[in-house]
Chain A
Amino acid sequence: MSVLAVTRREWIGRRNVLLLSLGMGLLQFIGLHLNPDPAQAFDKTSFLAVATGTMYAWAVAALYGATMLSRDLEERRFGFLLNQPLHEAQIFLGKVLAGVGLAFLSGLLACLPPLLLSGFWRQLGMREVGSIMGVWLAGSLVLLLLFHALSIQVRSRSLWLALDLAAWALFFLGVRLLSLRLMAVDGFREMAHLWLGLLIAVSLGLAVAGYLQVSEGRADLQRGHRWVSLTMASTLVLVLLGGWAQVVWTLKHRPAAVQTQARTHGIR
């Protein structure tokens, strides 16, 4: 219940975002209603509405993540939550839940009116709708956690930012090199698996870093940044090592699969 109390507090503070989303959706609806184009109404309208909703949901998640805690810390408002009998995990979870929910609902409100007009819901199955919502939720969560970590790193204005930059630079360089090795043997499928694995692992690292920022940093932005930096640097290095091991294993122990794929691509 305490988690939901924190979530509700966040929603009350940011309810204008939902109104803005609804306004955006209604604008699209009015636009389509005034200029109907029966020839390509369903495909184009649906695609545009879903794309707009997705972008909007993710933008809200990123903005929320960037201000979720760092703004409270800068404005010295985080003490209000710390002065209540709330565990740090309840505070963090309540805020994350509020952000993901807000992003999801914002996206939905932004695209629902035009989708209703295009008859999207009647022509797509529950599976497709579920997939779109899953992508929205997962994308929102990852972006929220990422922007939360980045905002802490930037707003604390400490020298630990150098470690953050070095870790991220090393990570992207490493991913690029690993991807190139797989691309050299046309291992595109393996590369997609590698990227997905890296994304999931980095997201887990971001979640742990975000929690540690609250539990170990509390109202101390610099201390919170140290924990985020140490967690993220270790995560990125470990994930990269894991990715490297996977690529080595793929190239050494599964040559047939990769070579088959390479031949297939070669024939084409």
Chain B
Amino acid sequence: MTSTVAMNPVDCRQLGVRYGRMVALEEVTFTVAPGQVYALLGRNGSGKTSLVRCLLGHQKPCSGHIELFEQDVWASRRSLMHRVGVVSEEPDAPPTMTTRQVLQFCAGLYPSWDAVGVEARLHRFRVPQELPFGKLSRGQKAQVSLALALGPRPSLLVLDDPTLGLDAVARREVYDELLGELAERGTTVFITTHDLAGIEGLADRVGILHQGRLLVDASLEDLKARYRKISWAPAQALRLEDLAPYGPLGFRVGSLGGEAVLQGDPAPLLAARPEVQVQDLSLEELFVTLVGADTEVAS
């Protein structure tokens, strides 16, 4: 009997990275399933860059390991890169080469290079191909990087903060291109970003990295079901102790009333205090609640 279970594009186990005495990553474990869009979130310095460097085989972890398509990425980086498209945080194509020269360089390295698709994308983005890469605008560099990453028709796309420094229009174009790719080919995507609003409609699963540890690793649906925001008017004086059974996070009371984020189902509280308002959390609110004030959260 043949197995029908597809291999996970990313399998990260007990990953640890240290720089001298400083711990950058500690026991980070997660998997990304085929076709999934996994968004890794975290504040600056949370360890995202170290994780991406390990994920791409640029850096050897101090402990644990990462496999892409069931192959150790450090040992098999070269063969794996045939199946992986990468957009780096800082556009890193040679600045003196024109976009056309960069395209020619990459096209020669991949047997499955989609020359027509890349041309079409660059045409859609209106990127001048005869200008040196270094002279393109930030948005154009990101667009070229995305076109290059999609060129080899990758099975896995690794995007390291691809919208960093982009204006709203350029951001939208990047996400639209990604949505098109997902709809057409169902490519697995691993993305790190600070653009929480932009990624919310795209991500299936979210990981939140905080001080080198993976604080949260759950589907976006589960997260939204697990955490609810409640608010109340000043007259309804809810105390922190009233919310204790719900594991309150980010409890705040002011002259206009109070609000808190609760873990678990708030139905019993609502039955007892029907005047309390319940709202879904946006990804950004959730992120700020979980990592904004060094909150301890049981994942």
Q: Which residues of A contact B (CB under 8 A)?
A: 1-2, 5, 8-9, 12-13, 76-80, 82-88, 216, 218-220, 223
Contact = CB atoms under 8 A, between A and B. Distances in A.
Pick the most buried of B86, B94, B95: most chain A CB atoms within 10 A of its CB: B94
A9 B58 contact: no
Chain B, interface residues (CB within 8 Å), range: 20 to 34
A216 B60 CA distance: 8
A167 to B, nearest CB: 23
Interface string B79-104: 10110101010101111110001000
B56 interface: yes
A57 B274 CA distance: 83
17 contacts: A2-B108, A5-B109, A9-B94, A13-B96, A76-B88, A77-B92, A80-B94, A82-B56, A82-B57, A83-B81, A84-B109, A86-B78, A87-B78, A216-B60, A219-B58, A220-B53, A220-B59
Contacts of B224: none
Contacts of B60: 216, 218, 220, 223
Contacts of A87: 78
A87 B78 CA distance: 6
Given A77-B92, A83-B88, A220-B59, 19 more contacts: A1-B108, A2-B109, A12-B94, A12-B101, A13-B96, A76-B92, A77-B94, A79-B86, A79-B88, A79-B92, A80-B92, A82-B58, A83-B84, A85-B78, A85-B82, A86-B109, A87-B78, A218-B60, A220-B53
A85 B97 CA distance: 19
B162 to A, nearest CB: 14
A84 B92 contact: no
Contacts of A86: 78, 81, 109
A18 to B, nearest CB: 13
A5 B108 contact: yes
Contacts of B58: 79, 82, 218-220
A217 to B, nearest CB: 9
A223 B101 CA distance: 32
B106 interface: yes
